[in-house]
Structure 1
C-alpha cells in the first residue's frame, strides 16, 4: 500500500487533465468510486496496482505519481516526467479496461476457473507481467470484472429508460433489458451466473453481489413506487414487489440459458411473456 499526501494531489491533477468526473475516472480504472474518494481524502491508501491503472489511464509515468526523482517543470508550471517510458498505442479506454473486458469475455466463454492469466494476456496482445502489473491476483481481476459488469448494466438501464413514456413503460424497458435475446445479453448473463457462484464462496465478492442487487432492487422498487403514485400500478409494497419480480427474472433467465435454443416453453419470448403476464396480474392497475 502506498500513502503520500502529495500522491493524492497528483491523482487529482490526472483526473482534471482527463476532463471527466471523478466517478467516470473511477469507472475507467475499474475502481470503486467510494474507494477513490477515500484515497483522495486521505482516509485510505492507494494500492500500487491502483496507481498503475491511474498512470496508464492518465497517460503519465507511475514514478511521477509516486513522486520519484527525475521530474521537471514545463513552461506552464505543470509537472511531467523527465523520461517517460515509451508507450505503444493505448487500446480504447486504456489497458486496464481492455484487460477487464477481455477477462469478462473469456469468463463468458469458458468460466472463470478455466481462464488463465496467459489467456488474458494473449487476448490483450500483452505479457502476463503487464496483467499482474494492473491486477496482481485473480481476486483483483474477479472484483474488477464484477465491477465492470455492474457499471455497464447500470449505464444500459439508464439509457434504455431515458425516453420511457410512463412508469409502466419504464418497467417494461427494464424487463426487456433482462431478456437474454441477443448474443451480448446471453454473454452478460453467462458471466453473471459464473460470478454468482464465486460470490457464494467469497466474502468480498459476496459483498459486491449484495450491493449490486440492493441497487437493482431499489431501482425496480422506485419505478413501482412512482407507478403507484401515478395510478399506473395498484397499491402494493414496492420493496416486496421488486424482490419477487427480480427473483422471477433471475430464475427464468437461468432456465433460458440452461435450455436448448429451440426448447419449447423455455425461450426468450416465453420468458418475456411470463414476466409481462406476472406484472399485469400483480401490479398493473386495471
Structure 2
C-alpha cells in the first residue's frame, strides 16, 4: 500500500485496524479523507494557532499544540511550515490584519475625521481589546529576539500600516476643516506611542488604568494636537 501523503491527516488509534486486521474500525468522515489544497490547509493551521497565542502566550506554543488544535498531525504542520515560529508569525499577522481591518471599517462609516478618530480611540480600549494588546506585546518581544529578517520586516510593515491609518484619519479631519493641525507626522508618532504605553499600563495595572481613563488620555492628545477650528 502506498504511504500516506504528508498532507493527509493520520488516523487516530481508535480508527486504526487492530493487529491482524481483526475488529471493526470507525469510518473516517469524508472531509477527513479528502486532501485539501495547500492554501486551505495552511490557513486551517494558522487559524488554529491564533487562540493558542492568546491563551498561552507566543513563546509557550509548540508545534504539537498547533497540530492538536488544528486537528492534524505534527507531520502535516511541518510539511506546510518550516518552523513553529513561521506558523505563529503568520497567525499574528492574520490576527493583526483582522483587528485593524475592523478598526478601519468602523472609521470609514464615520461622518467626519473627528468622529473617526473618536471611534478609533473607543475601539482601541475595551475589555475585549486586552487580549489583542497582550498578543501584540508578545509578538513585539519575539521580534526583538528574532534574527529572522523576514520576521522583522513583517513587524515593521505592521507598524507602518498602523501609522498610515492614524495619519489618514487626521488628514481627513484637516481636509474637512475640523482641525488645524500642522504637524501630522508628529501627531501620528505621539498617538501611536501613547496608545502602546497606555495598553502596556492597562495590562500591567501598574498603576491601575481603566479603559475609560485610557480613552480619556488619547482624546486629550487629539484635542491638544489637532486644534479644533472655530466656526467661520
1:111 aligned residue: 57
Is 1:132 matched with 2:75? no
- Of the candidates 131, 144, 147, which is equivalent to residue 187 of structure 1? 131
Q: Which residue of 2 aligns with 1:219?
A: 165
| Inter-partner Cα distance in structure 1 for 2:173 and 2:42 | 40
Cα shift readout 1:101-143 (whole Å, capped 9, x = no counterpart): 2212111211222111111111122211121122231232133
**Partners in 2 of 1:249 and 1:172 — Cα distance?**
13
Correspondence for 2:28: none
* 1:192–1:259 CA distance, 2 compared to 1 (3 A): same
SS in 1 for 2:140: helix
Aligned alpha-carbon RMSD (Å): 2.4
In 1, distance between residues paired with 2:111 and 2:94? 29
Match status 1:230 vs 2:176? yes
Is structure 2 residue 157 aligned with structure 1 residue 157? Answer: no
Kept after mapping to 2: 8 A contact 1:199/1:206:
yes
CA deviation map 1:174-194 (0-9, x unaligned) = 222211422xx2222111110
Of residues 199, 220, 223 in structure 2, which corresponds to 1:277? 220
**Relative contact order, higher structure (CA 8 A, sep 6+):** 2
5+ long unaligned stretches in structure 2: 1-5, 8-31
Q: 2:44 aligns with which of 90, 98, 104?
A: 98
State the secondary structure of the residue aligned to 1:165. coil
Shift of 1:244: 0.5
Distance 2:136 2:59 in 1: 14
CA distance in 1, matches of 2:225, 2:170: 11
How much has 1:204 moved relative to structure 2?
A: 2.6
Picking from 75, 86, 101, the partner of 2:33 is: 86
Would the aligned equivalents of 1:180 and 1:253 in 2 still touch at CA under 8 Å?
no
Higher CA-based Rg: 2
Confirm or deny: 8 A CA contact 1:161 1:173 kept in the other structure. yes
Could you tell me whether the CA contact under 8 Å between 2:46 and 2:87 is conserved in 1? yes
**Where does the alignment leave 5 or more consecutive residues of structure 1 unmatched?**
1-51, 54-84
Please state if 1:206 is matched with 2:149: no
2:121 and 2:152 mapped to 1: Cα distance? 24
Using the size of structure 1 for normalisation, the TM-score is: 0.63
SS at match of 2:110: coil
Matched, 1:148 2:94: yes
